[in-house]
Structure 1
Amino acid sequence: MKISRLVLAIILVALMLSPERCESRKAKIISTSFEYSAINCRAHSVSLTDFGGVGDGNTSNTKAFQSAINHLSQYGSEGGAQLYVPAGKWLTGSFNLTSHFTLYLDKDAVLLASQDISEWPVIEPLPSYGRGRDAAAGRFTSLIFGTNLTDVIVTGDNGTIDGQGEFWWQQFHKKKLKYTRPYLIEIMFSENIQISNLTLLDSPSWNIHPVYSSNIIVKGITIIAPVTSPNTDGINPDSCTNTKIEDCYIVSGDDCVAVKSGWDEYGIKFGWPTKQLVIRRLTCISPFSATIALGSEMSGGIQDVRAEDITAIHTESGIRIKTAVGRGGYVKDIYVQKMTMHTMKWAFWMTGNYGSHADTHYDPNALPEISNINYRDMVADNVTMAARLEGISNDPFKGICISNVTIGMAVKAKKQPWTCTDIEGVTSGVTPQPCNLLPDPGSEKITTCDFPTENLPVDNLELKKCTYSIKHA
């Protein structure tokens, strides 16, 4: 009997150590190697599956994301940490980032925004807005959220973040929301931020919202939403300094890039401008909104915006400045060059009567300053109206310069291609002939509008090549 038991034990051990057995155990572990460019590489890396993540599209991973990030926060002073999201569909509600941290999405990873409202905490309105955008009360936290952070990267191999916005759009249209809809990515009061190489789909509202932050790179982002979806702005730098937006493709139901800095008396009091912004190689499709909008919330000021190599296709307007009496603040030192527009309602639009106030307490004597606006080296075709430029009575928009611009009018274009009120400026080499308020001195004095040649600090930041190999279930 003892010999039989011994033989049985030997056979069992042999089975456990057989090549077939070892191979089946190894098959459960996947090794993935990848590389990407980033402002910083990380010393530590884990997979979401290490913290119980389930990528079946049905299981909530909100706790898994937060547990993983909370664990990785301990490595901030030890080279930072990275959370890898492997292939799969990862349902999740809102979660918070940490400093010295990278969130990396595999090319076949999809973050699915939960439609369970209990997974979206409510936070206070932004101080520079004084209220929520959709409702006067607070706002739902963004899907990916961070505040008071430094050195944060959200990137991937063109992985996808799906906001499943239809649920939110219906609630918004039915006026059933007590709080403002969440954004997909929002980072507040932070510095050294990179958001890159991702596809964002169907955001509940704005897609990317850096606010009260500095040293920001947004690069290689694709944003897709139905052109009729409400307020699905693409990228909205808001009271930010030293920001670069490059190589992005946006189809949305609102402005592709909307530059902001606070709303009426709240923005004036907060007093935090957006400045030193670069936008390059942007392609926009938005039939009911602008390629690049400055405002309407600009009460903290917008200054030194440089945009070049911009393509607009079937978009309502190319560059739009939106402001009103009561906004205060300023939009000045704006430079745009090398822009191509196809099938537009307006190539240029400036609005001094935008309205849409936060409440009734705004100061009617708070007049905005719009000055030193430069557009040059542009071509457009199939345009309904070349420009609609409407300043404010007793507060004209000054220093407008437009040079070397050719606008091809649509077959059913407006008979009057330019309308101008309360503006001052000059043009040179512009077709069709601009309005009388923008005279062209002709060959006597050929004007070339300004565009700065010196780099902003964010242009001098060199990205590092980060290489990783990670084992995960």
Structure 2
Amino acid sequence: MTHANQSISYDQPTYPDLGRIYPGDYYPDLPVDDYICRTNPLPQGPAVFDIRDFGAVAEPGRLNTEAFQQAADAAKDCGGGVILVSGGTYRLGTVWIPSHTTLFIAPDACLEASRNADLLLDQNPHHHQKYGTESVEGAFIRVRGAEDVVITGGGRISGSGEWYVYEPRELPALHPFDLTMLPRRDQAARINSVPDTVRYYYRQRIRYAEDKYQEGRPNLRRPSYMVWVEDSCQVRLENIILHDAMCWTLNVDCCQDVIIRNLVIDDNRHVANTDGIDITGSSHVTIEHCFISCADDGICLKNPVHTGRAMRDIQIRDCKVLSVMNAFKIGTGTRHDISQVRVSNCDFYLPDIYPGGVSGISIESCDGSHITDIILEDIRMDQVQCPIYLLLNRRNEAGDPYTDTPGVNAYWGGSVMDITLRHITAENVELPCLVTGFVSQTESGQPVRQAIQHVCLEDIEIRYRDNQEKIYLPQQFDEFLTDYPESNAHGDVDACGFWFRHADGLRLKQIRIKPRQVNTRPLLTFYDVNQVQVSEVTTLA
């Protein structure tokens, strides 16, 4: 069935001078054949709706939004079916996938996002959600309020990411830096622009949509996600390539019973905010055998204010993550509880651009979440600056009102407890691991102590990259009460292995650390820590 009455139109980029790609933007050795099967057949039984039968044409720059959506609507009218994308690259604005539907993108096909922001941003302000102070304004591929949805086929979804961000200040760094140095805490107001620091090294190379450096440029308009699955259940994404996201790549938002398997994410590693997989307020989620290369957090669990629910039962295994930021992260949006998380047999690394990923494992509660029952084991890291970062503070992004009594609301933060990290190796490390809660006081002067509790660290080996380091130790370490948490934002600490502060119930066993040759700091330091068991801590030659 052809639809000759459809109007023919071509994409008009909102920012036609953008879109450049530089060496180092993309990982050159993408192991697609290890994850993607190119011979999977179409599902048998359901009706097939080929977008070409609805007028789609794989012509460069031609828009096929209407044809695709007509195919999707036809599937919906039949109670479900298969939307078939085959035979070339099809450029689209926002499209919607209904219940009981498989989006099958064949290995020879690609759905490519429009470069016109108006075709991807949600024009209805009532549809916008809030993530703290951040508005959500649209996505490319959308699934909302649906069940029994599959995205598969061995083909590709591409987000045209470079077309929605400014050029970088510096080109990708393809060689390691001789010096590791952090910005000091008294430089927090200009933390991203202190020369020769690790933050400066990578931040100067990130492409932002905002006027980050107050140069008088307007903020660029871009959609928030490439693939957004919200308020849905029984969803499966497998055997698909997600490429060149314009912001978050895949957001699974307020869903349950989701499987993400045999997925390749191949983002520009310098386009800001390109998280790989975000699990947001969702439960009963499995992520397995995925390869993720991205500029921001690789696999990220968060539960911000808009979800209004706890999230639990997240299983992650057999994944490889190349992230400029945090390979695995819980945070930053953490208003509601997160529990029962298992991560096993994963590799976190960044082999070809520098200065290396910000962290391997980050677990952060800063807006009131109670984060508990988290186990990560059999994790291998290479060229990750900080292997482990556990933080509890009271950023309070939702703006809960002040109270004299901790625990009444989220003003004084949540908790981080019952964390097990074991069988972990990290090579070419640049910064120590941090585990820290906080102390403060009420307006009436009563002390408040919020400690990280019950952390087990077992069989962990850390080997530093043997470059030079420049350390500045302050007279007093900042409590980091309300700051945005990042492992390299605290300034230097007086330990090269693990720095513990405001923590109760620590168990350390079989900890092996090889510092730099120029190291002058002890392996471990403890401040305001109770109930500590330490055994078999070794300095490696």
Q: TM-score range by the shorter chain?
A: 0.7 to 0.9
Change (3 A) 1:293 1:167: same
Q: Provide the rounded CA distance (Å) in 1 between the counterparts of 2:245 and 2:98.
A: 23
Deviation digits for residues 208-261 of structure 1 (CA, Å, limit 9, x no counterpart): 111111000111111122322110000001111100111111111110011011
Residue in structure 2 matching 1:285, options 322, 344, 354: 322
2:363 maps to 1:316: no
Question: Cα RMSD over matched residues?
Answer: 2.5
2:430 maps to 1:384: yes
> 2:63 aligns to what?
60
Instruction: Measure how far apart 1:332 and its partner are.
Output: 0.7
- Structure 2, unpaired ranges of 5+: 1-37, 167-207, 212-216, 351-356, 403-408, 440-448, 472-494, 514-522, 537-541
Change (3 A) 1:41 1:401: farther
Q: Provide the rounded CA distance (Å) in 2 between the counterparts of 1:128 and 1:370.
A: 25
Q: Provide the rounded CA distance (Å) in 2 between the counterparts of 1:130 and 1:441.
A: 39
Q: Provide the rounded CA distance (Å) in 1 between the counterparts of 2:45 and 2:336.
A: 36
Q: Structure 2 matches for 1:86-97, cutoff 5 A?
A: 86-97=86-97
Q: Provide the rounded CA distance (Å) in 2 between the counterparts of 1:305 and 1:235.
A: 15
Residue in structure 2 matching 1:251, options 293, 297, 300: 293
> 2:242 aligns to what?
200
SS in 2 for 1:143: strand
SS in 1 for 2:74: helix
The structure showing larger relative contact order (alpha-carbon pairs under 8 Å, at least 6 residues apart) is 1
2:164 maps to 1:163: no
> 1:152 aligns to what?
149
Deviation digits for residues 122-157 of structure 1 (CA, Å, limit 9, x no counterpart): 3546656355x3xx5xx3321110111110011112
Instruction: Measure how far apart 1:197 and its partner are.
Output: 1.3
Change (3 A) 1:384 1:332: same
Q: Provide the rounded CA distance (Å) in 2 between the counterparts of 1:50 and 1:352.
A: 55
> 2:375 aligns to what?
335
Instruction: Measure how far apart 1:168 and its partner are.
Output: 1.5
| TM-score, normalised by the number of residues in structure 1 | 0.77
Change (3 A) 1:43 1:248: same
Q: Is the 8 A contact 2:164 2:220 kept in 1?
A: no
Aligned length: 392
Instruction: Measure how far apart 1:75 and its partner are.
Output: 2.3
SS in 1 for 2:274: coil
2:54 maps to 1:51: yes
- Answer with 380-389 or 393-402: which moved more: 380-389
Q: Is the 8 A contact 2:385 2:430 kept in 1?
A: yes
Percent of pairs with identical residues: 21
> 2:123 aligns to what?
122
Q: Provide the rounded CA distance (Å) in 2 between the counterparts of 1:129 and 1:286.
A: 22
Q: Is the 8 A contact 1:403 1:427 kept in 2?
A: yes
Q: Provide the rounded CA distance (Å) in 2 between the counterparts of 1:52 and 1:246.
A: 36
> 1:470 aligns to what?
none
1:50 corresponds to which letter in structure 2? Answer: D
Instruction: Measure how far apart 1:34 and its partner are.
Output: 5.5
SS in 1 for 2:115: coil
Q: Is the 8 A contact 1:57 1:112 kept in 2?
A: no
Change (3 A) 1:125 1:331: farther
2:298 maps to 1:299: no
Q: Structure 2 matches for 1:73-222, cutoff 5 A?
A: 73-76=76-79, 80-120=80-120, 121-123=122-124, 124=126, 129=131, 131=133, 133=134, 136=135, 139-157=136-154, 159-170=155-166, 172-174=209-211, 176-177=218-219, 181-222=223-264
Instruction: Measure how far apart 1:376 and its partner are.
Output: 0.6
> 1:442 aligns to what?
535
Q: Provide the rounded CA distance (Å) in 1 between the counterparts of 2:67 and 2:424.
A: 49
Residue in structure 2 matching 1:344, options 384, 402, 410: 384
Instruction: Measure how far apart 1:348 and its partner are.
Output: 0.3
> 1:232 aligns to what?
274
Q: Is the 8 A contact 2:274 2:295 kept in 1?
A: yes
Q: Is the 8 A contact 1:386 1:409 kept in 2?
A: no
Instruction: Measure how far apart 1:357 and its partner are.
Output: 3.0
Q: Provide the rounded CA distance (Å) in 2 between the counterparts of 1:260 and 1:428.
A: 30
Residue in structure 1 matching 2:418, options 372, 380, 404: 372
1:166 corresponds to which letter in structure 2? Answer: E
Q: Is the 8 A contact 1:237 1:274 kept in 2?
A: no
Instruction: Measure how far apart 1:422 and its partner are.
Output: 1.2
Q: Is the 8 A contact 2:164 2:221 kept in 1?
A: no
Change (3 A) 1:293 1:126: farther
Deviation digits for residues 177-205 of structure 1 (CA, Å, limit 9, x no counterpart): 58663311111111000111111121110
| TM-score, normalised by the number of residues in structure 2 | 0.68
> 2:474 aligns to what?
none
Larger Rg: 1
Instruction: Measure how far apart 1:342 and its partner are.
Output: 0.7
Q: Is the 8 A contact 2:100 2:147 kept in 1?
A: yes
- Structure 1, unpaired ranges of 5+: 1-32, 444-473
- Answer with 411-420 or 398-407: which moved more: 411-420
Change (3 A) 1:116 1:323: same
> 1:447 aligns to what?
none
1:427 corresponds to which letter in structure 2? Answer: L
> 2:170 aligns to what?
none
Instruction: Measure how far apart 1:408 and its partner are.
Output: 1.4
